Amino acid sequence: MENSAIAAQIKALREVLHAHNHAYYVLNSPTISDFEFDTLLKQLEGLEQQYPTFADPNSPTKRVGGDLTKKFQTHKHRFPMLSLSNSYSEQDIIDWAERCQKILGESSEFVCELKYDGVAIGIQYLDGKLQQALTRGDGEQGEDVTANVRTIRTVPIVLDKSVPVDFEIRGEIFMPQQNFEALNAQREAQGEVLFANPRNTASGTLKLLDSKEVAKRGLDCYLYGVYGLKSEALGHYQAVMLAKEWGFKVPDPSKRMIEKTNSIAGIMDFIHYWDQQRSQLPFDIDGVVLKVNSYEQQDLLGLTAKSPRWAIAYKYKTQQVETLLESVSFQVGRTGAITPVANLKPVQLGGTTVKRASLHNADQIQKLDLCELDTVQVEKGGEIIPKIVGVNLALRQRQQRIVFIEHCPECDTPLARQEGEAQHYCPNDTSCKPQVTGKIMHFISRKALNIDGLGEETVELMYSRNLIKNPLDLYQLTFDQLLTLDRMAEKSANNLLQSIAASKEVPFERVLFGLGIRFVGETVAKKLVQAFGTITRLAEASLEELLTVEEIGEKIAQSILVYFSQEANLDLLRGLQQLGLQFECAQKTLDSTILAGKTCVISGTFETFSRDELKELIERNGGKLGSSVSAKTHFLIAGANMGPSKLQKATDLGVTLLTENEFIQLISQ
């Protein structure tokens, strides 16, 4: 085929697929079957593979993600991303609206919207194509998450010709409850730590470096503002409706998701309506947003330092319901901590059915003065598991207090409670089943040793068959042993063995995290590795030395000392070390030595890199970062707005000045 004919075919396929995408994801009314869609998509993929010259980041094939991003670059927002002032008080909203009316006149119009509980995004379109998507960041600069945003099906990547040449659209990226629950169910099955709530998950997902993974997670996006319009719209409502015509997913007026009103009563009605109805929505909202409609009036009202005067958010209080406490059970975690859990009569709360609530510890039970079969008030906060916040004493049926257990429900060992600590512990960490299997699950989890192909059930089975009792035993497992397990075929056994072998290359900080030392999470593990470098030095560190490390306080330091004082732990470490796991911080490999022996100073603000990134680049190329310009400085990397005195000093001392681009050129030589 002629090149031009191929180009035309590719273009036609892309257009058809974009249109079907829009019909399916935005309009919710597909025009072809999934099968037909996939066939067309495959055809396009085939052509793009065969003719790479026609590659386009905005092709519908890019919706599945692809490129691995090393790190997100930060860019300046064209329009600062302001925040909203907010209040839980209806009176504050009335006061705000009255103030607006006083300045603007009674007939001014308000727009009422939902306050989506997700992550703010600003998406730039140029010539009808998605150009760049930035997170809020600090409001001035945001992170470039374009590759990830491209995978969100409700965000169009190419628009019709009739849209403005250059505009920015802002909205909220969120994870619908259904996708959140499916994701957590999948994680639970794989023994991974559960996500706390849809908002954190959306935010974490948007920051994943692997856009393929993002594509699988099912993010969604509602748009709530258009920036950079000229005369296209006179006000906010009109702009949002225009955005709908351009192909964006915007709130539906017929479902009262967006509404115009010129009365305070209208605003209140909207607030009350959604307070009642919000649990029916398939996604989380945490309030409503009220905006003055006319752009001219918005300008008149202006901004405060951080937020516009023309908008305000009314936030809903956390939802509460009452239900019956059927019983209390006690769970043993991997660290031996005992958590009391309330088993409740199932009740609907915030769109999900609640059957259990955490009671945290003995003090909490005492504080609530909880009795058997009490009617309790349950609240959903930021956590996955709701909490009990009170008891309805009027409905108390029995005076029988809930008593905290004295022996471990799993291994019957008497429980202990350290002074000053809220939690009870089962001290039997070598043969209490949930502790042992929990520690192994933690050791193999993705952020630790990342051993794939072992679910919780299999680990429990292996434990009960005496195949594993600590992480060390994983490395002694044989192919034949694995084949004796249910659901373990040859292929999965081989994959598992490979994954176990590969874990020997996992960097020290993740091994340290995987050991499951109490209070040593991912961040603390990193800090410890940076400070001590090797397990030997860490094991020998004194309390004082540990306390000098950033983020490490008394509690963490004590826990580390206790860990290294126990013979069983030292045996485990010796064993793992002999097997070849990483217990030293790998030397940073250099990209080049072009800056070897050179000291660089950075000053001003930069377009492409943050200061931390520049520092890392300097070090990765053998150089050192100096704090101020002196006779020892070799290069001054000068960004915008650099102070004149620094410049003068550098010139006087004959220091070589480099712009950001010159620096990039130098290190990429």
**Contact map string, positions 594 to 613, toward ligand IVH, x by CB under 6 A:** --------------------
**What beta strand segments (E) does 144-284 contain?**
166-174, 220-227, 258-261
Task: Please check whether residue 331 is in contact with residue 358, taking contact to mean a CB–CB distance below 8 angstroms.
Answer: no
- Assess 218 for contact with ligand IVH (CB under 6 A): no
Range 247-306, binding ligand IVH (CB under 6 A):
289
- Alpha-carbon span 60 to 45, nearest angstrom: 9
Kindly report the number of other CB atoms within 10 A of residue 406's CB atom: 8
Select 109 or 172, whichever has its Cβ closest to ligand IVH. Answer: 172
Question: Which of 72, 96, 110, 224 lies at the binding interface for ligand IVH (CB under 6 A)?
Answer: 224
User: Least Å distance between CB 179 and ligand IVH?
Assistant: 18
AA identity, residue 594: I
Helix spans in 258-396 (H): 264-277, 295-301, 362-368
Burial class (CB in 10 A: 0-12, 13-18, 19+), 669: exposed
Q: How many residues bind ligand IVH (CB under 6 A)?
A: 13
SS3 for 29-62 is: CCCCCHHHHHHHHHHHHHHHHHCHHHCCCCCHHH
Residue of minimal CB distance from ligand IVH?
Answer: 120
Q: Which of 19, 84, 531, 657 contacts ligand IVH by CB under 6 A?
A: 84
Choose which of 20, 115, 249, 387 interacts with ligand IVH (CB under 6 A): 115
Nearest 5°: phi and psi at 110? -115, 150
82 belongs to the binding site for ligand IVH (CB under 6 A): yes
Task: Supply angle C-alpha 500, 504, 510, rounded to 5.
Answer: 100
Q: Which of 37, 96, 110, 116 binds ligand IVH (CB under 6 A)?
A: 116
Q: Is the dihedral of CA 142, 145, 146, 149 positive or negative?
A: negative
Per-residue contact track with ligand IVH, 295 to 314, x per CB under 6 A? Answer: -------------x--x---
Candidate list 83, 89, 178, 431; residue touching ligand IVH; CB under 6 A: 83
The smaller minimum CB distance to ligand IVH, of residues 225 and 639, is found at 225
Active site residue 207: no
Nearest 10 degrees: Cα torsion 443, 448, 453, 455? 50
> Is the dihedral angle over the CA atoms 562, 565, 569, 575 positive or is it negative?
positive
Q: Residues 11, 62, 70, 115: which is the catalytic one? A: 115
37/174 with CB nearer ligand IVH: 174
Angle of helix 456-464 versus helix 433-444 axis, rounded to 10: 130
Footprint (CB under 6 A) of ligand IVH, residues 308-347: 308, 311
> Of 607, 580, 583, 535, nearest to 73 (Cα)?
607
Residue ranges in 382-401 that form contacts with ligand IVH under rule CB under 6 A: none
The residues that bridge with 605 in the sheet, in sequence order, are 640
Tell me how far, at minimum, the Cβ of 410 lies from ligand IVH, in Å: 44
User: In sequence order, which residues have a C-beta less than 8 Å from that of residue 549 and are 6 or more positions away?
Assistant: 527, 528, 531
Site string (161-190) toward ligand IVH, x via CB under 6 A: -----------x------------------
Q: Least CB distance from residue 181 to ligand IVH, whole Å?
A: 22
Q: Residue type for 214, please?
A: V
Tokens of 204: 């974490």
Residue 113 touching ligand IVH (CB under 6 A): yes
Smallest separation (angstroms) from ligand IVH to the CB of 81: 7
Which range, of 13-21, 22-30, 111-119, 653-661, touches ligand IVH by CB under 6 A?
Answer: 111-119
Q: Which stretch binds ligand IVH (CB under 6 A): 67-75, 113-121, 146-154, 443-451?
A: 113-121
Interface segment toward ligand IVH; rule CB under 6 A; list 81-89, 231-239, 317-325, 335-343: 81-89
Active site residues: 115
Contacts with ligand IVH, residue ranges (CB under 6 A): 82-84, 113, 115-116, 120, 172, 224-225, 289, 308, 311
